[in-house]
Every structure is written in structure tokens, then in C-alpha cells.
Structure 1
């Protein structure tokens, strides 16, 4: 019998598709170097414009200007307002179904680095709200003022779910966010394509997640 009592998910890049594909298209259209946007985001990652937006320290106007300044320092100016629309990925139905199945047997949580929504379509927001309602507990960086990979945000989740880190699996698409979870004792899964990640998760929880 599995010792896992809770599964904790990231949202973007896990429940929904990764924004990195949209980043790549944007870079190609603008004639930017490959992975330029990710390079901007990875520079001073804990205190850059992106991090401060996700902790609600910046509004969208401040983010727009700060991201432009940071990208310009790396050789190509990109306005923050042009990057934000690239983040809305497509929901992965197989991940949602796995979440439903797990929620019937185990505790579930979502830790998402996000920012105050703007310009979301009502239908998309409604569907996302329905998915968020499947989790037993949700922690949003924009509301807490903490963001991954700060270890405190993972401990907030385990405390809310009433489980020890060693009894949890954590799924994220970024290695930088998986490292602190692993150091706290969680099992971790780096998500790329949905199916391989779900096969790995299925093995850890000990019951079927895929048809």
C-alpha cells in the first residue's frame, strides 16, 4: 500500500500546458534569440519583475516598465504587457481527470505562482474556477505574498492539508520549484508531457489514473 497521503500540483505547465511554447512563437515572430524570455525570467529570479508581480509587489503597470528595463539590459527590450498574454495555456483534460480520481482517495493541493488576473475570458475563468474547486486547498502567490521556490509556501500547504512532507507528491514543470519540495522530503515529478508524468504519479499513488 502506498504511503502517499496527498498530491500537490502546480497549475501552469501541469494542469494547463506550458507557456514556453507561446514564448518560443513570440521570440520567433519578434526575431529574438531562442529562450530569451526565459533568460530574462531566470535573471535575479527571486527579486526580478516577474517575482515581484507574483508576490503582488508590482501592479501590471510597474511590471510592464520593469520587465522592459530588465530585458533591455540583456540586449532586447520587450514590454511586460506583451508577455502577460502568453501565459494562458490550454487545460489538459487528462490531468483534470487524474485530479478528480486522486481527490476521491487522497488530499489534493495546488501551489501556483500567479498574479492578479486581467483580461481573462469569462468562460475560461469559469472553467478554471471549476478545476480549482477540485483541490482541497489552494495557495496563490498573489494572495499570500510568498512564491515558489520559497520553502515556506510548501510548508503552508502541508500544514493546511494536515500531512507531513514525506507523505506528499509534488508536481511542477520547473526544476527550481521541485528542489525545495524534495529537500523537505516530498516525492517530486517534473512535468513535461502529461502522460509520462501521470504514469509516474500512478506508480507512486498505487491506483489507476489513466484509462
Structure 2
């Protein structure tokens, strides 16, 4: 029996930053998915991983990330990439979150570079953040998805077993450890399809 629904934020509740990355790559003539390739090289220790755990600040991140890009033969401006991290709210996902919050425990599981409480959030984003029972943020916890400890923290704070959780994320690498722990997982590629799958799992009536 499901007791909790866990949501990624960027790429699930908000539009994906990968869209902004693709626009920047096209603007400066980089091959498609260059930024994702840099991020997937040494994913546990690279600049992005360190930044999401708050082990380095923005200036050090930019230096390290640009060095990593250079090592792969690319030149880019890391600051421009950071500017693309702010997505827009997906109304259908917010509706799904509200529906879940009326019957289940909810949590946001997000790899971020600055805690939500320190961000100057738009009003619509702040409203969404306040729906969740708990927030689990890499910038606070010192660990990040896909590290197993990150998911354990969410379960401990919600007082639920992994087997009683559904987790939605847009990245398969983040879903794999959650599924191994016993969670039911949903990969969000097309939001409407993901919501339909979620409602089927939870036993919500179809529209």
C-alpha cells in the first residue's frame, strides 16, 4: 500500500533545465547534449556533483566546470549554464501534486545548488514548494541523487518504508537506486503520461 509520493523538482514539477542547455549549445555551436556529457563524466566527483553538495561555491564551480569542458575539447561559459537552471511551473504536475498531498505524504527530492529557503523564488514556485510535507535538498544534506542515502533521508523523515513510496524523476540514473530499494518509480518524459501512470498506481480515477 502506497503511503508517500516523492517528486523531483526540476524536470518534473518544473520544466527541464535540459531545454535551456540545448538552447545554449545551439547558440554557441556545441554538439547536442555536450553539457549532459560533461555532467555524466565522473558524475560522483565532478564540478556539478561538488556544487550540488555545496562543497564548492559558484566561482570555483565555474572554473572547474569550464576545465572539464576544455578537457573534452569544448569552450563554454559556466555562468550561462547556471542561468538556465530556473524552469517554469507545469500546471498539470502541480495539480497532480495537490491531489497526492490530499491523501498521501509528499516530499520533494532535489539536487540543487542553493537551498530553497535562500532563493528568491517566484510566487508561483514558492506556492508549490509549500505544498510538500518535506524537502530533501542536496545543498543541505551533503549528499545527492543517485546516492542511496539521499532516498533514505526522505523515508526516515516521512516515517515510511521505501516499498510504500512512489518516486517520479526525469532521469533514469536517479530512479535506479530508488527502485532497488523497493520504491515504485516513474520516469517523467511526457508529463501527462507520467501523471496517468501515477494515478493508476494510486488508484485515482481517470479524468
Which category describes the TM-score, using the shorter chain as reference length?
Answer: over 0.9
* SS class of match (2:84): helix
How many angstroms does 1:19 deviate by? 1.2
Which runs of 5 or more residues in structure 2 are unaligned? none
State the partner residue of 1:110: 108
How many angstroms does 1:121 deviate by? 8.8
Aligned runs of 1:1-211 on 2, under 5 Å?
3-116=1-114, 122=120, 124-208=121-205, 211=207
How many angstroms does 1:125 deviate by? 3.1
Please give the alpha-carbon distance, in whole angstroms, between the structure 2 residues aligned to 1:136 and 1:41. 30
Question: Residues 117 and 76 from structure 1, CA distance in 2 versus in 1: closer, same or farther, beyond 3 angstroms?
Answer: farther
How many angstroms does 1:127 deviate by? 2.4
How many angstroms does 1:90 deviate by? 1.2
Please give the alpha-carbon distance, in whole angstroms, between the structure 2 residues aligned to 1:156 and 1:144. 9
* SS class of match (1:13): coil
Please give the alpha-carbon distance, in whole angstroms, between the structure 2 residues aligned to 1:7 and 1:183. 17
Please give the alpha-carbon distance, in whole angstroms, between the structure 1 residues aligned to 2:119 and 2:138. 21
Question: Residues 173 and 137 from structure 1, CA distance in 2 versus in 1: closer, same or farther, beyond 3 angstroms?
Answer: same
Please give the alpha-carbon distance, in whole angstroms, between the structure 1 residues aligned to 2:4 and 2:111. 20
Q: How many residues align?
A: 206
Once the two structures are superposed, what CA deviation does each residue of 1:89-119 show, in whole Å capped at 9, x if it has no partner?
111011011111110101101110001279x
Once the two structures are superposed, what CA deviation does each residue of 1:103-159 show, in whole Å capped at 9, x if it has no partner?
0101101110001279x995x433222211101111110011110000011011011
Give the TM-score of the pair, scaled to structure 1. 0.93
Confirm or deny: 8 A CA contact 1:67 1:78 kept in the other structure. Answer: no
Which runs of 5 or more residues in structure 1 are unaligned? none
Question: Residues 55 and 173 from structure 1, CA distance in 2 versus in 1: closer, same or farther, beyond 3 angstroms?
Answer: same
Confirm or deny: 8 A CA contact 2:115 2:139 kept in the other structure. Answer: no
How many angstroms does 1:193 deviate by? 1.6
